[in-house]
Amino acid sequence: MPSEGSASAPRADVQGLRALAVAAVLAYHVWPSAVPGGYVGVDVFFVISGFLITSHLIRHPVRSGADLLEFWARRVRRLIPAASLVLLVTLAAAVVWLPPTVRGVVGREVLAASLYVENWALARSATDYLAAEELHTPVQHYWSLSVEEQFYLVWPVVLGLVGWSVVRVRRRATGDHGAVRRDGVAALAASAVVVVLSLGWSVHLTAADPAAAYFVTTTRAWELGIGGMLAALLALRPFRPGAGVRAVLAWGGLALVVVAVTTFHAGTAFPGWAALVPTVGAALVVAAAADGVRGGPGGLLGHRGVQWLGDVSYSVYLWHWPVVVIAPFALGNALGPAEQVAAVAATLALAALTKRWVEDPVRRSRRLARRRGRTFAVLAAGMLVVGAAAVVVVDRSAAAERAASEVVSQGLAAAGPCAGAGAVRDPSCDEPDLFTPAEFAAEDKPAPYADGCWNNAPFTTRHTCTYSGPDGGAEPSARVALVGNSHAGHWLPALEGVVAQEGWELTTYLQSVCYTVDRPLGFDGAEESEGCLATNRWAVRSILQGGYDLVIMSNRTNQPLAGVAPGDQAAEAQRAYADTLRTFTDAGLPVLVLRDTPAMPGDVPDCVASDPDDVLGCGAPRTAAVEPDPLAAAAASDGSGLVTLVDVTDLMCDARRCHAVVGGVIAYFDHGHLTATFARTLAPEVTEGAREALAARP
């Protein structure tokens, strides 16, 4: 991670803090269960960066456009060459080793990373339940670099404007001492405003939309602002504690960081209030300036090995994540203990080489320093080369998907009624060979994804989509509501045929993750739980008031009910579903319940792409793949005569095993959502169930 303030020798305690931060991040990504809160190392870096950059801007304030260009040029020389090199090498490695199903995504994220907007790209995809379950790309760690680059772009402008405003307000001449004080006051005021506003927003968004809150600049700016406030306070020198106090502050700060690293975990609401623990800890260590203080942590932080790690921390951060993500694919197996140690060693070796041959030579280049135009030419060249390579990968991936679509069309025509589930339904069928390429299956999603039909966390939207037959303007013969979460949405292709044939009109009420019960679910954020409950109530109320003739329900019940003991979850969920079904049937509405489909242990298109000749290995034992479905259980127990249950499990599983590829068709576009192509082959069972349910109308 970058954090450079001036040309002077770095403080040993700051270098030691860098080493601790990058070691925490590296260990977290290699051994996540051993270091569950290692991700807070990024927050420590933010504080260091805010401190060093603000300190530099107080000593060398931006007074003109030339000053601003010089500041940016220093950042470019320090950061861009190494970052561009790693992006380019990572993109090439992804093309060689990663499954073709993810190359387009990697290309798009490399492009976002080269433009330093990766954090916003990830924030957008993190709110998409399906995108959140995709393979991590090897450049996702550039989100934090994007936050810092955006800070470096804006912060000197802000401080320059605030400093100018202070001059106008005070209207007094300043010497050198006065200038430093003025710029310190300006930095303190600006940093305080950033901390207050950004921290408040961080607390709010962490509760309302934790997935996006983790990445966006607005929820992280306060961490850099804490470093800025600290730099301003030290420049103004309001106090100077004694050696004993400084030693206590330094040890106390380190303790806070270690507590966060060892006790925080994936379920910790973060950043929000929790991020104060590592950031305040880092600020205390920096404020203490305990190098050489008796009884302080100077001996630990100043150790030669620790200092070396601090020196190469930026390159370690750049290389570690591509190594962790790509190594299992290059080796053909998950990383075991020996491979994990080798991954760490490879990261350190690559970091040392990058520091020696890229970082230092470019940063110290007198030719670049003498002419800023050359520096910005380096920036433009790096972004152009990386961006062009990323665009090529994205374009080739799109072309491969188009070609795969043609292969699928030909395969479906050749297989005829024996495609997909038809091969199981008709014993006379010969099992077709695989004819759906993995890259096609990965994007073979039902219409609600492209049509924006989803209500995602924090469930403040109320989106619906309506589908009808070819005579869409005519009065429908029946109005159907499709309600549930993403495991309801993946049934839409199986319903397209009957909607068209019968002249029905189908409207979706789809919520990601949130399943259709009138009970609060246990999300990470309180606003998500409240929003899910409100959205479910809106959906049920809208259906009851909408003049529908049939309700079709399906859900994956993978989120716990709030306040319910683990052992009671299944029974309580079944009771909650029974209440929802009763709400519909008491109103005379028939309900078709589609039992949830089996789930695979990992991403199916990626698995098939890695070994197309062993598609059986991408399946799972039936006992593991067929998960309990409380909604189906509630439907089976319903005595109203208005609930019909359809279960297609036997079309996807034999007595012992559930299959990821059925009748030549990849059945899933991830680990558990049906591809549109395979879902259409389930139309006979779904159509029969829908007609049977409609016939039960009073």
Q: Which numeric CATH code is attached to 446-601+628-652+679-695? A: 3.40.50
Joined together, the tokens standing for residue 470 give 């070819």
What's the Cα-to-Cα distance from 435 to each of 262, 407, 442, 674, rounded to whole Å? 48, 7, 14, 16
Residues β-bridged to residue 507:
466, 481
Helix (H) or strand (E) holding 339: helix 337-354
Q: Residue by residue, what is the 3-state secondary structure of 509-540? A: EEECCCCCCCCCECCCCHHHHHHHHHHHHHHH
Q: Indicate the DSSP class of residue 597.
A: P
Joined together, the tokens standing for residue 435 give 């004819």
- Residue 480 confidence (pLDDT): 97
Give the integer Cα–Cα distance in Å for 141 and 5: 22
Give the integer Cα–Cα distance in Å for 363 and 385: 20
Q: Using an 8 Å Cβ cutoff, are 530 and 498 in contact? A: no
Structure pTM?
0.85
- Residue 142 confidence (pLDDT): 96
Give the integer Cα–Cα distance in Å for 348 and 313: 9
Give the integer Cα–Cα distance in Å for 107 and 93: 12
Closest CA to 24 of 264, 242, 240: 264
- pLDDT less than 70: residues of the chain: 1-9, 127-135, 166-180, 238-239, 471-473
- Who contacts 402 (Cβ-Cβ below 8 Å, separation ≥6)? none
- Who contacts 194 (Cβ-Cβ below 8 Å, separation ≥6)? 221, 222, 224, 225, 228
Average pLDDT, the chain: 91
What are the structural domain ranges in the chain? 41-235+304-386, 446-601+628-652+679-695
| Amino acid at the residue 261 | V
Joined together, the tokens standing for residue 555 give 């859900």
- Residue 167 confidence (pLDDT): 64
- Residue 128 confidence (pLDDT): 47
- Residue 297 confidence (pLDDT): 92
Residues in the chain: 698
Kindly report the CA angle at 404 between 671 and 98, in degrees rounded to 5?
55
Q: Using an 8 Å Cβ cutoff, are 379 and 80 in contact? A: yes
Joined together, the tokens standing for residue 238 give 């309001």
Give the integer Cα–Cα distance in Å for 46 and 155: 13
The distance from CA 690 to its chain's CA centroid, rounded to whole angstroms, is: 37
453-487, pLDDT tens digit by residue?
999 888 988 999 999 877 656 788 999 999 999 99
The helix/strand/coil state of 645 is strand
